[in-house]
Structure 1
Amino acid sequence: MELLYKSTRSESKTVTASQAILKGLAEDGGLFVPTSIPQLDKSIVELSKMTYQELAFEVMKLFFTDFTEEELKACINKAYDAKFDTEEITPIVKADGAYYLELFHGATIAFKDMALSILPHLLTTAAKKNQVKNEIVILTATSGDTGKAALAGFADVPGTKIIVFYPKDGVSPIQEKQMITQKGENTFVVGINGNFDDAQTGVKAIFNNKGLADEMNQSGYQFSSANSINIGRLIPQVVYYVYAYSRLLANEEICENERINVVVPTGNFGNILAAYYAKNMGLPIDKLICASNDNKVLYDFFITGEYNRNRDFILTSSPSMDILISSNLERLIYKIADCDANKNHELMSALSKNGKYEITEEMKSQLVDFYGNYATEEETAQVIKQIYQDTNYIIDTHTAVAACVYKKYKTDKKDKTKTIVVSTASPYKFTRSVMCAIDNKYSSMSDFDLVDELNKISGVEVPQAIEDIRSAKILHNTVCEVVEMQKVVKEFLEM
């Protein structure tokens, strides 16, 4: 049975999975959602005997129903190959009373690799299926990790170009160097004088510009997105939650159908939304624990029912979470509004106009599966140091936010349910923050000296992604104002 997709902001039209992937964002500015959440059609016991690639097919086939088995398996096998430095793809480490799901063993050492390794293959396959003649221009905003993972995925992919906007002073030095040294004739990286929300808002404005879309079409181009607003980016993230549960079962850490909790450090709400989708597919997840940093707009939302971005934007040591407009939350709002597109549109319009909206008590009652909390900068550093001292396991700043919130959850709720903490980036990506948290004596060292020191104290091999940028040539040095983003896009495409 074919699963179709519709916009969160209108009821008028449905599209196939491949069409939703191609478009990225719906024409009315909404996000594509499946008309229903499919149920797992294999038992967890059956899934526990599968490789990551086999299990990925079993999950994705339920969502991407207009892809043939051959097409989908080809996309999966090209994505999850030797570019990952562990055979398991997403290994689980037991430490400090939790199971750490390491999602950073791909080419760019961040969890974005899990979805952005497959998105180029899904997108180019979707283009062929829909007889698209235009060149596809991937337009994306990044808070640090999406940009490099998308660039690495789309570099020199025939029939595509990719343009990434990032906040010039809002990413780590290693994140920035990973992006600005990116090779590929079809790649373009632009720093903006602003924060991630400015970049994301600018990209959405370009997507929603009908005149520009017509102009692009006449020039032989069409836009798509690599952000988690693209359903082709979101669904592959569902896979690793199912896989993680199946691994715990296979390793006899849990019993069949035993419920677990999941802690996710999140800013744009895509990763935790994927866990929510997995739960709705029948995976035995109990609590979805949403971990925020000092930009605690999501924590406040779960406490009060009001989403309010009217506050100071704070630059933290976990920059991928420095976000005040959590785009993927719209998909959850649509769901708890009983899939009422008009109600959702009303709330999103209020956010756009007034910077805030408030959900009803009835909608709030549907958030019982979620728990929100946050970690301050000081708490984040303390957790990195404590876990290292107690277990010799070193985590990055984003994972530390999750670990801190998990400790708060256990104190608040006295819940002893076995829990997966999602580890979203390698500590090598945030060496300065991580090493200075462990001992302030490292503060005077250079970023790459810190890499070598981290290698010494952890015993974990320096990832190839870091070795590659030690002496890499800077290839992208464009910086622009937010109001110039459209102009910069047109100049790159020579329109």
Structure 2
Amino acid sequence: MKYKSTRGSIYTKTAPEAIIAGLAEDKGLYVPDSFPQLPFKIEDMQGKTYKEIAFRVMKAFFPDYTDTEMKHCVDGAYDGKFEAEDVVPLVDAADTHFLELYHGRTAAFKDMALSILPYLLTTAIKKEKEDHKICILTATSGDTGKAALEGFADVEGTEIIVFYPNEGVSEVQERQMVSQEGANTHVFAINGNFDNAQSGVKAIFNDDKIAEELAAKGVKLSSANSINIGRLVPQVAYYVYAYIKLVERGAIKNGEPMNVVVPTGNFGNILAAYYAYKMGIPVNRFICASNENKVLTDFINTGVYDIRREFHLTNSPSMDILISSNLERLLYHLSGDDGEQIKALMEDLDGKKVYEVSDKIKEGLKVFYGGFATVEETNETIGKVYKEAGYLMDTHTAVAYKVYEDYKNATGDKIPAVIASTASPYKFADSVAKAIGLAECKDGFEYVREVNEATGVPVPSGLKDLDKKPVLHTGVLDIDQMAQAVKDCL
């Protein structure tokens, strides 16, 4: 299997080469030249562990890794750092199934991929005899940054630089990042929103002069964002796992479809579900849930992607995004692998801030449903589900649940659904506390203690006593200072 660019480059790469590069030379994203089919029968995988399923799924996408190498990566990633017994609980509550992806070290779903990416990358470096130091350069809307920092801290041969929007993440998320230890870790707040941070990072990747300067110093840039195929593929595994578990517990029969509901910002998590579908997992609809930054909802419903709109800061900040990078991969697949068409669409997005897709792509989008929830609806959903079902969810998962309720009301569809539960409620404890009727507290850390006392839901170990951890990173930058900050760090 080879990996090729979404923008039509004639050059292909092996999986290790694509993981090291992060972004293609024509600025496109790497995608597989064909989708591997499930390497097993569903009935044969019942009773298997998450690690066993993840190994088989990732090996199908990354055949250049030997069995020994892939086992090393999987075993190293999904070990005792995950507090759930089998890594990813599938919890039945409130008439649906919550795939709890947040039981890793940073209490967010990004741990599922960013726990294994350092292993995939360092293995790739050895396989390719890469002699450059790899600098992981990442923009974050809150969770990717901490998970990447945790994964790459003190990993030999790497540096990691994270940019996050100043005043655009929760208090808990910010303290997680700025208290990060590790001699190779660098964290900066930027004056702007996530799209500004992401655009700044892409500009650095696309600057040939910077690449030459860094190469002269023995450094090569790569990414831990889901633009890196090594970050995306591990996410495919948990949707395959979810389907197997639904069959195992009799919620559906083998061969029957499930619905998938994903709170979506950069489109990587829901794209991973689509990749599982392309492998052969039966899916009826992909329900794409947005907050008030509903550019994806509008796109799915109209085929027009238009970022000429107001940007909203909400209490589900990981979805406060207008430019969803991974959508490019879906458009490429739906277009029939037409790289020139995708390149033109991305140029329109850069220049005109809007594009409209072809009728062929619009037809392919019909398997998706787009909806959104306001901040008020998000809070009401948290309170309602906790009161009626005793299940406590974070703001992003609440957006997904609300949109799923809207979807069922609009369609009458009763096919069982898996909702991607993307973060611990304690990461957004202030919003959760208010939603379940608790009194106002002085800061986000006191909210954590109050929610714990009121609900008895365990606090993830990575969030305990977070406010007592010293702040180690204090840099605040304007957008035009990001490139210089990278050079200074290296």
TM category (shorter chain) comes to over 0.9
Q: Which amino acid aligns with 2:487?
A: K
Deviations 1:196-242 (A, max 9, x none): 00000000010011111111111010000000000000000000000
Q: 1:388 aligns with which of 386, 389, 394?
A: 386
Alignment of 1:60-209 (within 5 A): 60-209=58-207
Q: CA deviation at 1:445?
A: 4.1
Residue of structure 1 in register with 2:14 after alignment: 16
Q: CA deviation at 1:50?
A: 1.4
Q: CA deviation at 1:428?
A: 0.5
Q: 2:462 aligns with which of 436, 459, 465?
A: 465
Q: Distance in 1 between matches of 2:439 and 2:23?
A: 44
Q: Which amino acid aligns with 1:405?
A: V
Q: Distance in 2 between matches of 1:321 and 1:144?
A: 10
8 Å CA contact retained: 1:292, 1:401: yes
TM-score normalised by the chain length of structure 1: 0.98
Residue of structure 2 in register with 1:397 after alignment: 395
* SS state at 2:439 partner: helix
Aligned-residue sequence identity (percent) comes to 55
Residue of structure 2 in register with 1:432 after alignment: 430
Q: Which 5+ residue runs of structure 2 have no aligned equivalent?
A: none
8 Å CA contact retained: 2:263, 2:399: yes
Q: Distance in 1 between matches of 2:480 and 2:158?
A: 25
Per mean C-alpha deviation after superposition, the further-off stretch among 146-155 and 447-456 is: 447-456
8 Å CA contact retained: 1:442, 1:450: no
Residue of structure 2 in register with 1:455 after alignment: 452
Q: Distance in 2 between matches of 1:448 and 1:154?
A: 26
Residue of structure 1 in register with 2:477 after alignment: 480
Report runs of 4+ in structure 1 exceeding 4 Å deviation. none
Q: Distance in 2 between matches of 1:274 and 1:119?
A: 15
Residue of structure 2 in register with 1:245 after alignment: 243
* SS state at 2:464 partner: helix
Q: Which amino acid aligns with 2:427?
A: K
Q: Distance in 2 between matches of 1:403 and 1:486?
A: 39
Q: CA deviation at 1:338?
A: 0.8
Q: Distance in 2 between matches of 1:466 and 1:304?
A: 41
Residue of structure 2 in register with 1:350 after alignment: 348
Q: Distance in 1 between matches of 2:477 and 2:64?
A: 40
Q: Distance in 1 between matches of 2:76 and 2:423?
A: 22
Q: Distance in 2 between matches of 1:363 and 1:244?
A: 28
* SS state at 1:443 partner: coil
* SS state at 2:180 partner: coil
Q: Distance in 2 between matches of 1:351 and 1:382?
A: 35
Q: 2:30 aligns with which of 21, 32, 42?
A: 32
Aligned residues: 490
Q: Distance in 2 between matches of 1:90 and 1:445?
A: 33
Deviations 1:379-415 (A, max 9, x none): 1011001001101111000000000000000011000
Residue of structure 2 in register with 1:371 after alignment: 369
Q: Distance in 1 between matches of 2:341 and 2:316?
A: 33
8 Å CA contact retained: 1:191, 1:480: yes
Q: 2:47 aligns with which of 38, 49, 62?
A: 49
Q: Distance in 1 between matches of 2:436 and 2:90?
A: 23
**Does 2:487 match 1:490?**
yes
TM-score normalised by the chain length of structure 2: 0.99
Residue of structure 2 in register with 1:313 after alignment: 311
8 Å CA contact retained: 1:135, 1:222: yes
Q: CA deviation at 1:449?
A: 2.1
Residue of structure 2 in register with 1:332 after alignment: 330
8 Å CA contact retained: 2:109, 2:423: yes
Residue of structure 2 in register with 1:226 after alignment: 224
* SS state at 1:287 partner: strand
Q: Distance in 2 between matches of 1:337 and 1:276?
A: 15
Q: Which amino acid aligns with 2:169?
A: V
8 Å CA contact retained: 1:384, 1:394: yes
Q: CA deviation at 1:337?
A: 1.1
Q: Distance in 1 between matches of 2:8 and 2:212?
A: 22
Q: Distance in 2 between matches of 1:212 and 1:191?
A: 21
Q: Distance in 2 between matches of 1:449 and 1:348?
A: 44
Alignment of 1:246-265 (within 5 A): 246-265=244-263
Q: Distance in 1 between matches of 2:442 and 2:482?
A: 36
Q: CA deviation at 1:490?
A: 0.6
Per mean C-alpha deviation after superposition, the further-off stretch among 185-194 and 49-58 is: 49-58
Q: CA deviation at 1:468?
A: 4.7
**Does 2:416 match 1:418?**
yes
8 Å CA contact retained: 1:393, 1:458: no
Residue of structure 2 in register with 1:280 after alignment: 278
Q: Which amino acid aligns with 1:449?
A: E
CA RMSD after TM alignment? 0.9
8 Å CA contact retained: 1:48, 1:243: no
* SS state at 1:368 partner: helix
Q: Distance in 1 between matches of 2:45 and 2:167?
A: 44
* SS state at 2:195 partner: helix
Q: Distance in 2 between matches of 1:128 and 1:395?
A: 41
Q: Distance in 2 between matches of 1:453 and 1:409?
A: 33
